[in-house]
Structures are given as structure tokens and as C-alpha cells.
Amino acid sequence: MKHYRGDRTIDGIEVTVDGAPLDERRDLLDLSHNGFEWSYEGPEPAQLALAILADHYGDDARAKADHKTFMRAVVANFGNEWEMSGADIDAALDALR
């Protein structure tokens, strides 16, 4: 199962999946030219939500359909450092349905 991690440090923001950088997926939806962010609702957290769901689902259409809800309920509530497993994402999505 995949493991997602984000950290906001003095050197900037880092988001990884299984230790590798998470693709922003701007090819799917270009929501932000400023990269990822979290802890609020906006284009950068929406880009993060989209990227996480696209990677997690492996289904671009489903990620596009669910990213706004996931951003508002989950990504907007992340702290400076966060971690989520695939099971955590599934549980959060189940709670939203």
C-alpha cells in the first residue's frame, strides 16, 4: 500500500509517495503554477488533492471528480507535516460518501 507524506520546512514544501516526489499532474488539470500547498482551501491544495487521488486511484476521471471534496475535507486540514497511507485515503473517502 502506498504512503503519502508532506512536509513544510525552511527549504520549502516536499510531497512524496513512497519516498519519491509526487507528480503534480498539471497535465490532468492545471490548477496552480505555484506547486502544492495545504492547510487551506485554494488552487494549490486542490492541485495536491488531485495529484494524491490520481496516484491513489490510478483513474484520472475519478480523481478529477473527487478532488474538490477531498481538498476541502482532508487537504485543507493538514498540519505542517502530514502522512497518509492508501488505507487512510480510502477511509477518508468512505467517510465523505
**Across residues 35-41, what is the average pLDDT?**
96
Grid coordinates 496516484 are at which residue?
55
Domain membership of residue 49 as a residue range: 3-96
- Confidence band of 9 (pLDDT split at 50, 70, 90): confident
| Alpha carbon separation from 66 to 14, 52, 92, 96, 97 (Å, rounded) | 23, 11, 12, 10, 11
pLDDT computed for residue 75 by the predictor:
98
State pTM to two decimals. 0.96
Mean pLDDT of the chain: 96
Q: In the Cβ-directed half-sphere of 19, how many Cα atoms lie within 13 Å? A: 0
Look at 97 and 33; give whichever has higher pLDDT.
Answer: 33
Number of domains present in the structure of the chain: 1
